Amino acid sequence: MIFNPRRVSLLVLAFIFSTPVLAESSGSLSDDFYMPSSTYAPHAWWHWMNGDVNPEEAAADLEWLHATGIGGVQLFDAGMGAPPESPFTFGSAAWKSAVQQSAAKANSLGLDFVITTSPGWSATGGPWVKPQDAMKKWVWSETEIKGGEQIAASLPLPPAVAGPFQDIPVDAIGHASRHIDNYYRDVKVLAYPVKAHESVALQVSGKASLTEQLGDGRFWPATAIDADSNGVVRLQFDAGKNVSVQGVTLGLPGSRGFGTPNPPVATWFVCESEAQTSCTPLAVLNATRSLTRTASFETVTARYFALELSRSTEPGFIDTLSYAQGANKLPFPAHAGAYALSEVQLHVRPIVNAFEEKAGFAAAPRYYPLSVPDTSEAAVQVNDVRDITGFMDEKGTLNWQAPAGQWRIVRLGYSLTGHENGPAQHNATGLETDKFNAEALNRYLDTYLQFYSNENGELFDGITGLLSDSIESGPQNAGTELLDAFAAAMPYDVTPWLPALTGEVISSAAETDRFLWDYRHFLSQTLNTAHYATIAARAEKLGLDYYTEALEDHRPQLGNDIDMRLAGGIPMAAFWYFDPEKSPKPTYIADVKGAASVATLKGEQIVAVEAMTAFGQPWDIGPGELKRAADRALVYGGNRFMLHSSVHQAQGVDGTPGKPMMPLLGHYFNRNSTWAGMAKPWITYLTRAQYLMQQGAPASTFAYFIGEEAPVTSLFGDEQPADDPQHSIPPGASFDYVSAQALDLLTVTKNKTLLTRGGTEYQFIFLGGDASLMTLATLKKLEQLAEQGVTIVGEMPAGSPSLAEDQAAFHSQATALWQRSNVIATNNIQTAMETLRVSPQWQFKASQNDLLVRQRRTDDGDIYFIVNTADTLQQNVFTPARHGKFAYRFDAVNGNITELEQSGRSISLSLPAFGSVFIFISDKPLNNTAPARQTPLQKHDVQTVWSLTFDSTDESLQKVNLNALTPLNELENKTLQGFSGTSHYETEFAVPESCTTPVGIAVGDAGNIARFTLNGHDTGTLFTSPWQVIAPEAFKRGMNTLRVDVANYWANQLIWQAKNNTVKSGFPSGVYAPDATYRMAGLSGHFSVLCQ
């Protein structure tokens, strides 16, 4: 071989190398790319679990996080298991001291230190919250009287039990940590005339014991009825005679939440005879979050009916969970073997279809599909409803001169929902604060923040922010003085419509639905102002950041996720890890895009992401796997990851997997990870990527108006707009979601486009989502924009969803607006773009189905992040709409910047499976980058022997000699197959004579993270392919010494213990099955010298 030191030195400047790229011009994008400031670094969720806290080890946690490059922590004090013998209980002197010391330590290290808005992670609650300040629901009792005389009657007290609906207690859904005293307050007493009628008494055929319970007018207790082998329960009912009915209500109070299967689908039938051989379905009541379900239908007269409960075919949360190969699944039932049934009520008068959801006792994914035609005249007219609150005394006795006729008296008030914060330590668990009462929330915050304050009432030094995790506090639809506020907000008298909250149809089904829309909309708006804006105001007063998550997963309760974040601070989303053979859950894509949209709208540079939350991957994933998920979150708009999670290691570093949140939850980013000493390159990758994705402003083609009903995570929780053939997104076009409230943040440019506060420009607004109905106020906003020349694309809305607005006036105004030339009546976005001659932001020569792109514009040029979502190599030609003289590839893995050749405006791309690339296009050159034209590297295989040693106290792990690179899981030694930790591959080799100039080394594969040391030079640590490092300066004449330190995950040792039926001290048990397969660990494939 000919070894030329001068040539090597020149190559160091000209070739791809692993030392910083130094740009001479200040302010250039390349200046800070190699090692950006810590302000661009990801943060970590730091969980203190069950009071298991050690202040000294907490400091060590923070030092390690800082050393890896983490920019901050978000502290969660949580409870999900047994506490230690001497726990640091929440709020104790020892606990407060540990928090104070940790905040001070973080401050000294330059780390942000954020605390959650409650113990646990949702939402704002604790044991100091008094019942009057807690979350509430409407409850009522009904009494029928005969009028025409002075009435003196004791009205039954409505259910005072804490729970989700009427008399159903909160422990029915498995959410109660302790006894909650009954609590009730009266609000209204209403009266309205009804026709005299006989109640329907149903007999359950062949099940006399059920007859009394299912017809007692109560929704609790429930009876568990065993299903057959197909998951079906069928009950037959006999009304004793023909009855005319218009609806049915079912009590189905089964457990809800994590670990429970979907509730059943209920089908209600009318039958021709007692034999029930011929039955016709009247209503299908699909599985919902509500514990009672109501369906209305056209009047039917019959004696015999039937109910069928069957398994839901919709995937539940359990169905969406995936597990690593061989991991033991949690013992959750895939399907219920029995269904809880508490009540069956047939209605002889009109009933609001799905009134439980429409009145806010639970949230429906979409509300407009729940509307039904007006099939019969309502039994109650709005003018017939009377407010007789003043005629009931404090004891509940009604003294009223009732007009003649039959009257129904509704005693309406509220009781507690019983929802508690959590999961928190037991002493920190209590009632959730009323989400509609800013005064109650401020009282809560006054107490809560004292736990994080010194004796002078000042927050501990070092605390920099507050965090609202995704809200999991459950539905609320009532509150102190809430009705007065609602009445003040509406231009009509709301009192006569209040019986609709109990399911009564007032005037007509359509008008009742519009009233209930007004009420739900008011609740959502009040959540924004009373809850999120109140926390934001407190944070601002204290000089704190406020990270604001919203709904995350579909629609757990009412609220508009765009507006929730607009009212909050730094918009934040959640993005879970997903298996390579699957796609991310659409709801998480929607959540990140929604948060990114809010950041753009309000001019916030940061889009925070609860990042790569993992379940069912016990110590089996790390940087190489997480990068794939991280890239997807980045391309959807996230740019500050909060790694989920880094649990506090109170026991210190002890040679075990350490303390997790729970064995199957999280991705175990802590000091006890086998790769803890090699974590920095992974964090550096994220920091570089986030640095680029925080530059300039996002580029989008249009604004996607979501309507005024469902949030983004519900609208697109199961499929994205691009998946809908009716409203598909054209290739090369991107968009941001906007709500009606967000329209106020847009300004019109001189080019008649729209500009956000963040600097993003939209060519037009598309009316998608639930824009088929629209309030007059929103219609007027669009009209004002159209008058300024803004283009609006979409079909004309059919009307207003609000009772407060005149439908004829709406139709007249909408018709006039849709006659304008700049309003295009189509749902086809591609057609609209062609009509408007709006070009795509980029194009690919071949199909781009597997390629995702996010664009950001800076003063100096455009950044494009391109992600290959396929498990195969993708080769394509990328053509951006905006041309630049220079194109550069930014490699966030190694920090290199390479000039790219352009053919016109096009760039050839080659992306490996799940690969990604940053491209920067500019008219200005960058300094000290590698040239575009380079001689391809040549691989020269080297045959050499290797010695293999291990970092382990196990004396049985002796040195192994290898004739070729061999992974641990393929060795004959069973103990080595199950080794987890750091192994050392060492060899001496001579550069092949055929290699003129050696510039790097490569191996075939590594499991899982590899650090290369050549002749004593640290040449780089890799966590993803290609497994090669470029270090021409590290080679020397003669023999070269190479050492590769390889860290593999804890999975193999856990599998070894399962196979050998043993559990070592400090290790979790039962995580893997004995037949689990060992993972690839160590090095494999050819060892090569890379030559120029």
CA distance 908 to 327: 42
DSSP 8-class letter at 1000: E
Torsion sign over Cα 330, 334, 339, 340: positive
Quickly tell me which residue has 């009792």 as its tokens: 141
How far the first Cα of the chain sits from its last, in Å, is 13
**Residue 702 pLDDT exceeds 90:** yes
Quickly tell me which residue has 């299912």 as its tokens: 214
Give the bridge partners for 754, in sequence order: 748, 762
Give the bridge partners for 864, in sequence order: 855, 919
Quickly tell me which residue has 């039994």 as its tokens: 379
CA distance 675 to 619: 11
Q: Stretch 166-195: mean pLDDT, rounded?
A: 91
Q: Which two tokens stand for residue 597?
A: 């949209």
CA distance 363 to 720: 21
* pTM of the shown model: 0.96
What would the pLDDT profile of 610-664 be if each residue is shown by its tens digit? 999 999 999 999 999 999 999 999 999 999 999 999 999 999 999 999 999 988 9
* Alpha carbon separation from 445 to 131, 436, 986 (Å, rounded): 16, 15, 58
Contact 805, 494 (CB under 8 A): no
* Alpha carbon separation from 381 to 92, 295, 509 (Å, rounded): 58, 21, 11
pLDDT band for position 298 (cuts 50, 70, 90): very high
Closest by alpha carbon to 981, among 1045, 907, 910?
1045
**Residue 19 pLDDT exceeds 60:** no
Strand, coil or helix: what is 185? strand
**Residue 28 pLDDT exceeds 60:** yes
Quickly tell me which residue has 């966590």 as its tokens: 1023
pLDDT at 175: 67
Q: Which helix (H) or strand (E) holds 769?
A: strand 764-770
pLDDT band for position 20 (cuts 50, 70, 90): very low
**Residue 17 pLDDT exceeds 60:** no
pLDDT at 954: 81
**Residue 533 pLDDT exceeds 80:** yes
CA distance 612 to 592: 12
Give the bridge partners for 702, in sequence order: 735, 764
pLDDT band for position 320 (cuts 50, 70, 90): confident
Burial (CB < 10 A; 0-12, 13-18, 19+), residue 986, is middle
pLDDT at 397: 98
Q: Stretch 431-459: mean pLDDT, rounded?
A: 98
**Residue 1079 pLDDT exceeds 70:** yes
If you count DSSP H runs as helices and E runs as strands, how many of each does the chain have, helices first?
Answer: 20, 49
pLDDT at 373: 81
Chain-centre distance for alpha carbon 280: 41
pLDDT at 318: 73
Strand, coil or helix: what is 606? coil
CA atoms within 13 A on the CB side of 1041: 6
What would the pLDDT profile of 1029-1055 be if each residue is shown by its tens digit? 999 999 999 999 999 999 999 999 999
Burial (CB < 10 A; 0-12, 13-18, 19+), residue 185, is middle
Contact 844, 737 (CB under 8 A): no
The structural domains of the chain, ordered by start, are: 38-128+421-695 (3.20.20), 136-194+385-416 (no CATH), 203-322+332-348 (2.60.120.260), 698-817 (3.40.50), 938-1091 (2.60.120.260)
**Residue 26 pLDDT exceeds 60:** no
**216: CB partners within 8 A, 6+ apart:** 343
pLDDT band for position 12 (cuts 50, 70, 90): very low
What is the radius of gyration, based on Cα positions, of the chain?
Answer: 32
Closest by alpha carbon to 90, among 75, 104, 103?
75
pLDDT at 14: 33
What is the 3-state secondary structure of 573-629? Answer: EEEECCCCCCCCCHHHHHHHHHHHHHHHHHCCCCCEEEEEECECCCCCCCHHHHHHH
Strand, coil or helix: what is 243? strand
pLDDT at 2: 33
Of 307-321, 358-372, 736-750, the poorest mean pLDDT is in 307-321
pLDDT at 808: 97
Q: Stretch 240-246: mean pLDDT, rounded?
A: 95
What would the pLDDT profile of 674-691 be if each residue is shown by its tens digit? 999 999 999 999 999 999
pLDDT at 375: 66
pLDDT band for position 207 (cuts 50, 70, 90): confident
CA distance 1082 to 1067: 22
Q: Stretch 238-264: mean pLDDT, rounded?
A: 90
Percent of the chain with pLDDT over 90: 87
pLDDT band for position 314 (cuts 50, 70, 90): confident
Q: Stretch 199-224: mean pLDDT, rounded?
A: 90
Q: Stretch 156-167: mean pLDDT, rounded?
A: 98
Which tops the pLDDT comparison, 198 or 106? 106
**Residue 831 pLDDT exceeds 70:** yes
Closest by alpha carbon to 882, among 903, 861, 898?
861
pLDDT at 851: 97
Mean pLDDT estimate for the chain: 94
Type of residue at 325: Q
DSSP 8-class letter at 1038: S
**Residue 32 pLDDT exceeds 50:** yes
pLDDT at 376: 66
CA distance 1062 to 336: 34
Of 141-155, 520-534, 593-607, 942-956, the poorest mean pLDDT is in 942-956
pLDDT at 11: 32
Q: Which helix (H) or strand (E) holds 832?
A: helix 829-836
What would the pLDDT profile of 703-752 be if each residue is shown by its tens digit? 999 999 999 999 999 999 987 777 789 999 999 999 999 999 999 999 99
Q: Stretch 972-991: mean pLDDT, rounded?
A: 97
What would the pLDDT profile of 126-152 be if each residue is shown by its tens digit? 999 999 999 999 999 999 999 999 999
